[in-house]
Amino acid sequence: MQSELGHLHTLIHVIAPLPDAVWQDFAAVWQPFDARRKTILTAAGETEKYLYFVVEGVQRAYALREDGKESTLVFTYPYSFSGVADSFLLQQPSRYFFETLTPSRFLRTTFRQIDELLLKHPALERLFRLAVSQTLSGVLTRQVELQSLSAEQRLRAFFSRSPHLFQLIPHKYLAEYLGMDATNFSKFLGQIRFA
Amino acid sequence: MPQLLTKTTRTMYQTAQLLEKLHNDTEIFLQQSIQWQLLPTTVLMAKPGPERWSMAQCLQHLNFYGDYYLPAMERAMREAQGKGSRPTPVFHPGWLGAWFTNLMLPQADGSLKSKMQSPKNAVPSAQPDALATLAAFIEQQERMLQLLDLARTVNLNAIRVPISLSRWIRLKLGDTFLFYLAHHARHIRQAEKALAAVLPIAARPVASAKTG
């Protein structure tokens, strides 16, 4: 638990350092939580109760399409926050599923606890504003990549950003995330890896 | 190698422990096969000898069984769930199930005792599509994990699943899981041997990419 909190502290220090007393309050609301591979932590229709901090493993959020297929929206891995962000922040039913793709370890806390702390500590409110801003920036970057890069360019960009994912999870999730079919995915991946 | 999958004469299992072990074995198969995604298709498709299966052929053979058993086990569990099936603390293998499982399992030293003839409909094609075969294999292992979760809610002794060779022979669900995973262990060992045999010849770039 101490080393997990240490990782959380490091992440927060990068975003916006907290005064000691605020950090003590914030550190006190987290509980360790483990989940095995392919565990659905939040289903569509449920409201996200938890904010997760990923200590180990890979997770994804995905939407279920009308044809029954899945669209992977985002991957998370250590050390970052995770969960269905909009459902958590707005406390409205999730439109997405959130699941583990490998055995995973987290710290997690509830909306109620976070909400109370945000009202109490302006420094924490600011931290959350900055964290959500960074998330928004990431979402817009992905939007640009989806609309203006070719499939091969998207794969190259993703491979240089997150090369470790390629040996951790089934490639179908990566291909799905990048909007590519399996054949093109493996062809381009081969070109990148053996170039 | 998964621990459970060595020769056994056990007459009972704690159900929760059994399902946990089967889950861990499947998790190991998954972690291995996720690594195999990084191999070039030439390696997956290379045969270590004229009469021996390539890695892709081993996996396709297992996929044939998965195509039959995964839906069959799920159907049996869903039906039983509808009829109020409840888990029991202990699972007792049936004599036929135990015999099938032992037939499949490697010896304690890891060697395979009997050369077995695969049924005609489970013989892999000469050149399976390696990528599609591996992707399907991985997907089947993920589904297996979900079935093992589902199995925690039902009775492994009472539910019966017809074997692929004959719908008249029905094994207990617990035996079906054990037999199915023993069969996997057998052919995954074979796939590993195929890989070890072809890797030095066929794939120098991979060997260097792996260490680099």
Backbone angles phi, psi at B127, to 5 degrees: -135, 80
Chain A to chain B Cβ contacts (< 8 Å): 42
Q: Which residue of B has its CA nearest to A185?
A: B131
Distance from CA of B34 to the nearest CA of A (A): 6
* Complex prediction ipTM: 0.88
Report the residue of chain B nearest A183, measured CA to CA: B131
Q: What is the pLDDT of residues A80-112, one digit of tens each?
A: 999 999 999 999 999 999 999 999 999 999 999
Residue A191 is predicted with a pLDDT of 86
Residue with tokens 């004469």: B9
Distance separating alpha carbons of residues B212 and B209, to the nearest angstrom: 5
List, for residues B62-119, the tens digit of each pLDDT value: 999 999 999 999 999 999 999 999 999 999 999 888 888 888 876 666 666 656 677 7
pLDDT for B16 beyond 80: yes
Q: Pick B34's closest partner by Cβ from A169, A186, A194.
A: A169
Can you say whether the dihedral through the CA atoms of B14, B20, B22, B28 is positive or negative?
negative
Q: Look up residue A92 and give its amino acid.
A: Q
pLDDT of res. B103: 81
Which pTM was predicted? Answer: 0.89
Task: Determine which of A36-45, A155-164, B123-132 has the lowest per-residue pLDDT on average.
Answer: B123-132
Nearest to A127 by CA among A194, A27, A36: A27
| Tokens, residue A94 | 């999730």
Give the closest residue to B30 by CA, choosing from B146, B137, B106: B137
d(CA A20, CA A43): 36
pLDDT of residue A94: 98
CB B185 within 8 A of CB B1: yes
Tens of pLDDT along A144-153? 999 999 999 9
